[in-house]
Chain A
């Protein structure tokens, strides 16, 4: 038994050493089968909203939204982070968090409704803003002072995910009236 253990340990040690020789904090591919957001527990889709970070001791955490990664950093601090990655909105390439450009608009739909998307350079971010006619371009540094809010009370419809039709004819008045009514009902039903 003992000999086996020692042998096994040696083989393993060698394997590990060879593995350590590679680049240290490489971005890992998203596996939709098992990856869930560390913060909000939702499945991490292999899409442009996915983000990840690897701590200095090699633990990897994945998130479904930049906002969730930000929340993790708020809770755990940034000292232990080896590298953090976001993805380019257009080609899903992993980019280092600090080197990416960001576009924020509250009407942008992201998995946890933080409304923040990432681009590999300022050029493509500006192109996106120009094309959509909305959003603000931010740098990674500016994200630190960004107020991360989840958009829960959207009064105007966004068109991010519906290519079919741009009809914007919903009257805002009606919408907000309905929302008010909703609040009343909420209060009525709250006391179980």
Chain B
């Protein structure tokens, strides 16, 4: 436990000395503020064009930022040889990975908090109608994205040998999950029998954190009816308070499962020396 906290603290310190963190912070703030200013005549509430484009913007930006910062942090351990050093200490691999995860989450969440803080503060100053529920929902949405994509980032970081490899893999994973997703799915599902499409689509959606979190927020914003007759029971379920717990449960199992997988990779690497 103390080992883990040690690693986490070190991670946070390194995180805020990393210029990448600040460039992403700047990018995030600039984009969210300009979106707000463009739509300053309109109220930000429920599912509308403004919240829809904010969702897209965040989906483009946050996963990429998380993948970069997370995977680089792990590859740099390898590149700089600090992992070799740490391996000689009597410290569990699990403490190391959990510490990494906690530390990186803290860094990323603080960046997100700063961005949203600025957004809320400025929208108040220039008199934009920003509904509180919508604001909190977006905060949760961003936090969820960061936490889920961080596990993928650790994965990438574990599998890549150096920073450049991590960069390449991160970009491709991001492209696949965020931009190419419908294209790939429609192409693949199109050749399957009609009755297979919907169940497969549901399973694959749960596997994609970007879609999972996006749909949760769309439903919570009141836009569930656009998803159509196929999913109305789900929409109804998630719309209820118990639905949030279900969502948190799915996210947690996601995180736990991927951390265990990452642990397994590192443990294997450690035993091989």
Contacts and interface: CB of A to CB of B under 8 A. Distances in A.
A34 B193 contact: no
Given A33-B232, A34-B232, A12 B195 contact: no
Nearest to A35: B229
Interface in B157-206: 193-196, 199-200, 203-204
Nearest to A11: B203
A23 interface: no
Contact of A58 (B193, B200, B232): B193
B196 A16 contact: yes
B250 interface: no
Nearest to A59: B194
Contact of A57 (B193, B199, B200): B193
B207 interface: yes
A5 B207 CA distance: 8
A8 B202 CA distance: 11
A9 B196 CA distance: 10
B195 A16 contact: yes
Interface string A6-32: 001100100110011000000000000
A26 B82 CA distance: 64
Interface size class of B (residues with CB under 8 A): 10 to 19
A8 B199 CA distance: 11
Contacts, number: 33
A1 B207 contact: yes
Given A33-B232, A58-B194, A16 B207 contact: no
Contacts of A34: 229, 232
B207 A8 contact: yes
Contacts of A58: 193-195
A180 to B, nearest CB: 44
Interface size class of A (residues with CB under 8 A): 10 to 19
Contacts of B207: 1, 4-5, 8
A57 B190 CA distance: 13
Contacts of A9: 200, 203
Interface string A48-89: 000000000111000000000000000000000000000000
A4 to B, nearest CB: 6
Contacts of A4: 207, 257
B193 A12 contact: no
A33 B193 CA distance: 27
Contacts of A35: 229
B232 A57 contact: no
B159 to A, nearest CB: 11
A15 B199 contact: yes
A97 to B, nearest CB: 21
A17 to B, nearest CB: 10
A19 B198 CA distance: 14
Nearest to A56: B194
A48 B84 CA distance: 75
A20 B194 CA distance: 12
A80 to B, nearest CB: 11
Given A57-B193, A59-B194, A12 B229 contact: no
Interface string B117-128: 000000000000
B203 A12 contact: yes
Given A33-B232, A34-B229, A34-B232, A57 B203 contact: no
A20 B152 CA distance: 36
B194 A16 contact: no
A34 B225 CA distance: 10
A20 B193 CA distance: 12
Contacts of B257: 4
Contacts of A5: 204, 207
Cβ-closest 10 pairs across A and B:
A34-B229, A58-B195, A57-B194, A8-B203, A58-B194, A34-B232, A12-B199, A59-B194, A16-B196, A12-B203
18 contacts: A1-B155, A4-B207, A5-B207, A8-B203, A8-B204, A9-B200, A9-B203, A12-B199, A12-B200, A16-B196, A16-B199, A33-B232, A34-B229, A34-B232, A57-B193, A57-B195, A58-B193, A58-B195
Given A8-B207, A16-B199, A59-B194, 15 more contacts: A4-B207, A4-B257, A5-B207, A8-B203, A8-B204, A9-B200, A12-B196, A12-B199, A12-B200, A16-B195, A20-B195, A34-B229, A34-B232, A57-B195, A58-B195
